[in-house]
Chain A
Amino acid sequence: MLSQDALKQIDREIAKYPADQKQSAAMAALAIAQMEQGWLSTETIEAVAGYLGMAPVAVYEVASFYNMYDLAPVGKYKITVCTNLPCALSGGVHAADYLKQRLGIGFNETTADGRFTLKEGECMGACGDAPVMLVNNVRMCSFMQPEQIDRLLGECE
């Protein structure tokens, strides 16, 4: 289910915590699994639970609690736009509108070609750089005016 490489990464996370607290690595393990598999299927969650000796529903609680886990498949590029107030004051909502129009999809939708998924995000702790977007949970893009958005989409083609 999970690759050797993923398991190795998970082992490194487990080592961060006291020996009897393996489940502390649950969040990291889910993140690693998601990065590898693209999203968290029932089987993946079960595999993580098995690896950490946790009840599957306990892992599911975690996977469904934190926003950045995807419990359904997403496009190759998941773009999360912050529309919270500080960002909105500097164009966060407008940037999202612009993206929706460029991609022809709304929030929580994926383009027909499976390339892009658009998500609405909450504060990313980067309000001074608004509009802010997060690509695939790892890459933060700041000051996303129309031309920067165009460039980002261009890179993702």
Chain B
Amino acid sequence: MGALGFILNAEEGERGWRLAEYIKRGGYSALKKIVNEKIPADQIVGELKKSSLRGRGGAGFPTGLKWSFMPRQFPGAKYVVCNSDEGEPGTFKDRDILRWNPHMVIEGMIIAGYAMGCARGYNYIHGEIWEIYKRFEEALDEARAARLLGNNILGSDFSFELQAHHGYGAYICGEETALLESIEGKKGQPRFKPPFPASFGLYGKPTTINNTETFASVPYIINEGGDKFLELGKPNNGGTKLFSVSGHVNRPGNFEVPMGTPFKDLLAMAGGMRNGRKLKAVIPGGSSAPVLPADVIMECTLDYDSIAKAGSMLGSGAVIVMDETTCMVKALERLSYFYFEESCGQCTPCREGTGWLYRVVHRIEHGEGRPEDLDLLNSVTDNIMGRTICALGDAASMPVKSFIKHFGAEFEYHIQNRKCLVPEDVQRAGSGFFKAA
């Protein structure tokens, strides 16, 4: 278990998520400290800045800085919103935080409300994890009953109300402004920025949105101090972080490790490569991050800077591991289909471009590729990237660009030979599905 203890294992008990258990683990002490000692908001934001906590939702924006953008003197409602819409393929950490530690997120959000002068918050929970949403609602009830939420929290003059809002199946709602639209009862189409949520957010009011893990990291920082959190990781990359490892490993799952941990170590924690096969490639930060070939990733440490230097992104910390049985064309086809299906349809380059990308990759995969297709793909991604309302356009383009960059030869083989470089039966064996049959 990592320093922050986001995740419990099943042995720690099915009841570990309950309020009483959380308090036993030292939960809500940060909130109590703040409220009892009347710690000034500035000081809290200061600790966050010191901690070098960077947003865990993907973009890695410094959280303390983000909180300081909220207009302090704004008259009227302001909101704190938690992004638990985790839909980025490969990412499944927020679900586990909410499953084992809903109160950690609640406590983090209450502290955020305190620090930014917000009286209301919403946690937007991914639609497909309905059971987790229900549990979160129950945790909210526990917190309300214990006067940790609601009016005059812990007898102070600070009041904060928190509600859960569930999604219903749209990846784009993970994008923060689409998420706000969704809470407003609309379809989740991202807004053009500026204005940014800190000035025009939920219902047009100043709003701060952070990822589940970001909020869950806050109590530790308040309890232990920003410096201690920073020291857990490495400079500019404070703390520990959850990494979701999926794909061709023996023990897929979430692992809380200090920032800067060598990738090799994480792979070992995940039980190493499935059946001892050879590592081929890794997408280190969720499906939107550029893919890295085995030799590059094996040299990386897990932090924003190292991964960025290698040409990818730490993103949400979703590590998708692919071994030698993987057909890279098929892998990309699947990702391209995802972005095509999940484009909100609002802006032209993404609506039209993601379908185009998918269709070209699809035709390569199905033996109908043309020699000019790789150039075409690169050119279409150039026309999408940086031209869209939200980052989904870039997210759809980066896999295409990086797959072609690192595995172009495999694509060319596909186009020339009208079939996979990796034989079908090898691919089939790779999934491990049929081993029992």
Contacts and interface: CB of A to CB of B under 8 A. Distances in A.
B248 to A, nearest CB: 6
B128 A125 contact: yes
A125 B436 contact: no
Contact of B245 (A123, A126, A128, A137): A128
Interface in B105-142: 120, 122, 126-131
A41 interface: no
Given A31-B166, A67-B169, A90-B252, A140 B318 contact: no
Given A67-B169, A94-B434, A127-B92, A26 B185 contact: yes
A92 B245 CA distance: 16
Contacts of B252: 90, 127-130
Nearest to A52: B185
A128 B92 contact: yes
Interface stretch (B57-65, B333-341, B404-412): B333-341
Contacts, number: 190
Interface centre among B94, B187, B244, B287 (most CB of A within 10 A): B187
Interface centre among A27, A52, A98, A128 (most CB of B within 10 A): A128
A130 B244 CA distance: 13
A25 B431 CA distance: 41
Interface of B: 77, 86-92, 94-95, 120, 122, 126-131, 163, 165-171, 182-188, 203, 244-248, 252-254, 287, 318, 320-322, 326, 331, 334-335, 338, 341-342, 344, 428, 430-434, 436-437
Given A85-B90, A130-B252, 20 more contacts: A18-B120, A27-B182, A65-B187, A68-B127, A84-B89, A89-B431, A91-B434, A92-B431, A93-B431, A123-B287, A124-B129, A125-B126, A127-B92, A127-B318, A128-B244, A128-B246, A140-B129, A145-B433, A146-B434, A146-B436
15 contacts: A30-B168, A61-B187, A62-B185, A69-B168, A84-B89, A85-B89, A85-B334, A86-B246, A87-B246, A89-B248, A93-B431, A127-B91, A137-B128, A137-B130, A139-B130
